[in-house]
Amino acid sequence: MADDDGDGFRATCPRCDAEITGEETACPECDLTFLDEDDGLSDEAVQAMLDDVDVDDLDSPAPGRIGAPATVRLFVGLAITAPLAPLVVFVALAVVPLPTWAAVALGTAAWTLPGYLLARPLVPTQIVANGLLLVGVVLSTTPLTVTAGRALVGTDASDVGALGANVADAGPLFLTFGLVVLVVGAVVRRHALSTRARWERDAAEGPRE
């Protein structure tokens, strides 16, 4: 391995950390063979490098920090809430006719605002779980929301294209899909909470030596 000691890079053996010049074919201390017959890295050297990096820690957050970076969490939040944009616009159009610009603005807000708010948990899996739960709730309550919205604004069902007068007929379909998404979200959330507990436990114990 190569380390920066402040005065330049220092080459060391990945197995015993003995200092080497970089021209040896084997470590003078532990006899680790660096090169194979084709002058490429030997299997022993590759394995020693992997052991030195400790690939088992790649799925865990960096030492001193619990959770994924904010940019990653925001990306996950926006990705999981993307289905809300067309769904909310569909509900709105089933209640009242909207101009194109208003539908686009509503869809953008329905996507970005929940995505930003859901990005607060430190574990990305928890963001996915919360997003699934939100989508499941919106799906399950879509027919009820449309019916209540029409009653509130006094919209005639025959004047609205989305769903029309068939809100009651579409209810079981929306409810079924919504419940499926809710169940998946609950399962993912349980896994996310377990992952967060493990991260917090590892952080409390400190980095492994």
Domain annotation covers residue 59: no
In one letter, which amino acid is 197? A
Distance CA 88, CA 108 (A): 10
Provide the whole-model pTM. 0.59
Give the three-state DSSP class for 99: coil
Handedness of CA 168, 172, 175, 181 (dihedral sign): negative
Domain annotation covers residue 109: yes
Structure tokens at 121: 């948990």
Q: Are residues 42 and 74 in the same domain?
A: no
* Domain span at 40: 2-53
Domain annotation covers residue 36: yes
Q: Are residues 28 and 125 in the same domain?
A: no
Could you give the number of structural domains in the chain? Answer: 2
Q: Are residues 78 and 46 in the same domain?
A: no
Nearest of 183, 29, 175, 199 to residue 121 by alpha carbon: 199
Domain annotation covers residue 58: no
pLDDT means per 10 residues, the chain with 209 residues, are 48 70 72 69 66 47 60 91 91 85 93 92 87 92 83 66 59 85 90 77 58
Domain annotation covers residue 41: yes
Q: Are residues 117 and 154 in the same domain?
A: yes
Q: Are residues 114 and 171 in the same domain?
A: yes
Q: Are residues 87 and 26 in the same domain?
A: no
At 204 the pLDDT is 64
Q: What backbone torsions phi and psi does residue 33 show, to the nearest 5 degrees?
A: -80, 125
Structure tokens at 203: 């952080």
Q: Are residues 82 and 181 in the same domain?
A: yes
At 56 the pLDDT is 41
